[in-house]
């Protein structure tokens, strides 16, 4: 598994948010790890904001800063489910199932084909 831990900011919002992106694989061919996770972040952030009557964000108003990248090819990376409560945004993709959490609460569960 591959884990990307990051921070993100929304323009005109002084808060720094914390996120973690867990997936089985990240390609070596990308324009930057920040951009690799930004698409999913914006998609689910806007879904969450819509469900909570908060204005949606535009891609250009969100900045992502990667803090760490780890892969189990290199080191043991297992964490308990309890860590989901520590992040503002937590994305996991295992066994063709996507789960997204905001502040430890499940937002959506999708089956990926």
Q: What is the pLDDT at residue 90? A: 95
Beta bridge partners of 68: 5
Domain coverage including residue 8: 2-111
- Please count the structural domains in the chain: 1
The H or E element spanning position 8 is strand 2-10
Residue 26: closest CA among 86, 69, 89: 69
Q: What is the pLDDT at residue 70? A: 79
Whole-angstrom distance, CA of residue 35 vs CA of residue 109: 23
The pair of three-digit structure tokens given for residue 6, joined into one six-digit string: 């990051």
How is the beta sheet containing 89-94 ordered, strand by strand? Answer: 62-71, 2-10, 17-23, 89-94, 97-102, 105-111
The pair of three-digit structure tokens given for residue 26, joined into one six-digit string: 């990240």
Q: What is the pTM of this model?
A: 0.85
**pLDDT of 30-43, one tens digit each?**
678 888 899 999 99
The segments of the chain whose pLDDT lies below 50 read: 113
């Amino acid at each position: 598994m591959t884990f990307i831990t990051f921070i993100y900011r929304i323009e005109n919002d002084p808060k720094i948010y914390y996120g973690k992106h867990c997936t089985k694989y990240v390609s070596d061919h990308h324009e930057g790890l920040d951009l690799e996770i930004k698409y999913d972040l914006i998609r689910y952030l806007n879904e969450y904001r819509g469900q909570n009557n908060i204005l949606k964000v535009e891609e250009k108003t969100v900045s992502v800063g990667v803090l760490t990248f780890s892969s189990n090819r290199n080191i043991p990376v297992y964490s308990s489910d309890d860590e989901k409560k520590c992040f503002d945004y937590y994305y996991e993709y295992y066994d063709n199932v996507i789960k997204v959490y905001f502040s430890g609460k499940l937002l959506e569960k999708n089956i990926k084909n």
